[in-house]
Amino acid sequence: MDALTAYFSSLPFSIIISVLASIAAFFLIPVIIRGRRENWRNAPPGPVGWPILGSLPYLSNRLHEDFFNLSKIYGPIMSLNLGLKPAIVVTSPEMAQEVLKIKEGSISSRTITEAIRAISYDAHGVIFSPYGARWKVLRRILISELLSPKAFESFEPLRRQQVHSLLRQLYSISKSNTQVNISEAAFVALLNLVSNIIVSKNLFDSTKKDGGQLKEMFWEMIKVLGTPNTADLIPILKPLDPQRLKTRIANLFKRMDAFYEKLIAERMKERENHEINNTKKSGRRDLLDVLLDYRSDDKENNLDRLHRNIIKAMISELFMGATETTSSTVEWGMTEILRKPHVHKQLVAELDQVIGKDRFVEESDIPNLPYLQATVKEVFRLHPGVPMIIPRRTNESCEVGGYQVPKHCVVYVNVWGIARDPKVWEDPYEFKPERFIGSSVDVKGQDFNLLPFGSGRRSCVGWPLAHRMMHFYLATMLHAFDWVSPPEIVNDVTERVGLTLQKDKNLLATPSPRLPESVYQY
């Protein structure tokens, strides 16, 4: 068994599928004689799948590309079987609106994989909880404590502190003419922003051993989350764990769980000391205090208080959801801007005109930067952080686009594909911020041709933070520094598939200051 799992873990996803297809063909085809369409009547058009494996032999780990290419054959709604799981893929604004808005009540659950089950503590957080009482409570907590206008404003000094601290670090680096890994710099800054929101302190200092280890732990979990797992799609393979993902997940989970337990234990001790000394913690409450203090009368749903796994799931999802997607999108934004000198020039001119050169950019400047806003929309269009948003699952059988969709069907909305459809966008593969100048199209989930954060009740609850930080990072880095990147790096826009669509070759760029020295030292 060990030799078999070691062999499978060394193979690419496509080869694993080929091996499994051969096994299925040899052993299973004589046994399974009924086709998929006998089991799924009035299904949308789609490729006829193999027994057991379904459509997996047609797919690679680049599902967003495979689905987009298949949609050119089968249309804006198609059906397939992913292993033993029925799925539909929609690739048009009209079908996205029907799935995410019109039929939202029937399509509001989640599909839980082995990796997601670990980071969400068996779907106890807000992102992966089943639609119901617990999900409503957790979403309400996040919105009221972090994302309401009043709460969002209260965190503004913290966001400014983290971004301006990054600029000062980049200034120090610029003195040695050293290249900066844009994605990693943004990732660490976002991790510390989130850690301050959760526990009011920086936890990820890369210059210290513990901080570096924490950063690497989160990077590793993000890699695992982005790896397709055949055992999730073909349950009979779960005992074999052919890619050894379950083993990797278990090891990572132990480390992450110990980290979260330590945070909670330290806070409980602090609170106990405050009570003994009859003192109160002053200032703004962080998320951990909010979760620990939560009380209600809802004993029927076991929600009169939040048990430990819910608290840890909320912390875990916030760390995962608020860091990698934004940092990779910042990297794509900087890449596209540096590839387009006229875009870069116009952005810098706008920044200089509005801000000048005697201070850093502030969040309050963003509404006065229309070309920056158009550029950010174009980044979200061409490089959505999650190319098919987080898949949903039907709660019940329903009809979509005139076709029958069964209960527990996985539903993909390919926003990456919609962005590349010439019927939806003129010159879809071109990075053109000008397309959004004077346009009312926005990213808030009401315009179904631009859905980087999804739409409806299961849309990304943290989108206001991600949206604001995207503007803030790009504006501050472009205003404070000139950037030079080797052409072979900046012009390579090959995607690397993981939890998000990352740039295959990380953007390495050398910053040089644009502002007076006194600004960086303030």
Q: How confident is the model at residue 221 (pLDDT cuts 50, 70, 90)?
A: confident
Q: According to the model, what pLDDT value does residue 139 have?
A: 93
The arithmetic mean of pLDDT across residues 109-120, rounded, is 85
The arithmetic mean of pLDDT across residues 443-471, rounded, is 94
Instruction: Give the separation between CA 175 and CA 164, rounded to whole angstroms.
Output: 17
Backbone angles phi, psi at 79, to 5 degrees: -120, 150
Lowest mean pLDDT among 126-130, 311-315, 327-331: 126-130
Q: According to the model, what pLDDT value does residue 424 have?
A: 97
477-519, pLDDT tens digit by residue? 999 999 999 999 999 999 988 778 889 999 999 999 999 999 9
C-alpha closest to that of 89 among 421, 396, 413:
413
Q: Which has more pLDDT, 2 or 66?
A: 66
Instruction: Give the separation between CA 366 and CA 362, rounded to whole angstroms.
Output: 7
What pTM does this model have? 0.89
Q: What are the distances in angstroms from CA 114 to CA 228, 235, 247, 425, 427? A: 10, 11, 10, 37, 39
Q: Which has more pLDDT, 36 or 107?
A: 107
How many other C-beta atoms lie within 10 A of the C-beta of residue 433?
Answer: 24
C-alpha closest to that of 290 among 128, 192, 155:
155
Q: Could you give the dihedral angle defined by the CA atoms of residues 73, 75, 76 and 81, in that order, rounded to the nearest 10 degrees?
A: -70
Instruction: Give the separation between CA 48 and CA 80, rounded to whole angstroms.
Output: 7
Backbone angles phi, psi at 388, to 5 degrees: -125, 30
Q: How confident is the model at residue 275 (pLDDT cuts 50, 70, 90)?
A: low
User: Percentage of the chain surpassing pLDDT 90?
Assistant: 60
Q: According to the model, what pLDDT value does residue 10 have?
A: 45
Q: What is the mean pLDDT of the chain?
A: 87
Lowest mean pLDDT among 206-220, 329-343, 397-411, 474-488: 206-220
Element holding 70 (H helix, E strand): helix 63-74
Q: According to the model, what pLDDT value does residue 44 have?
A: 96
Q: Where are the alpha helices (H) located in 176-242, listed in sequence order?
A: 182-199, 209-225, 230-233
Q: According to the model, what pLDDT value does residue 323 have?
A: 85
Instruction: Give the separation between CA 517 and CA 223, rounded to whole angstroms.
Output: 39
Longest dimension (CA), the chain: 77
Q: According to the model, what pLDDT value does residue 522 have?
A: 72
Number of domains in the chain: 1
One-letter amino acid for residue 319 of the chain:
F
Instruction: Give the separation between CA 242 and CA 15, rounded to whole angstroms.
Output: 12
Q: How confident is the model at residue 217 (pLDDT cuts 50, 70, 90)?
A: confident
C-alpha closest to that of 325 among 263, 390, 398:
390
Element holding 410 (H helix, E strand): strand 410-413
Instruction: Give the separation between CA 55 and CA 235, rounded to whole angstroms.
Output: 16
- Strand 410-413 versus strand 85-90 pairing type: parallel
Q: How confident is the model at residue 208 (pLDDT cuts 50, 70, 90)?
A: low
5-59, pLDDT tens digit by residue? 443 444 455 555 555 544 544 444 444 434 444 458 899 999 988 888 889 888 8
In which order are the strands placed within the sheet that holds 392-393? Answer: 77-82, 85-90, 410-413, 392-393, 109-110
Query: Which domain covers residue 81, as residue numbers?
Result: 2-521
Residue 422 in this model has a pLDDT that exceeds 90: yes
Q: How confident is the model at residue 284 (pLDDT cuts 50, 70, 90)?
A: low
The arithmetic mean of pLDDT across residues 377-392, rounded, is 94
CATH number of 262's domain: 1.10.630.10
Q: What are the distances in angstroms from CA 338 to CA 92, 101, 105? A: 30, 37, 43
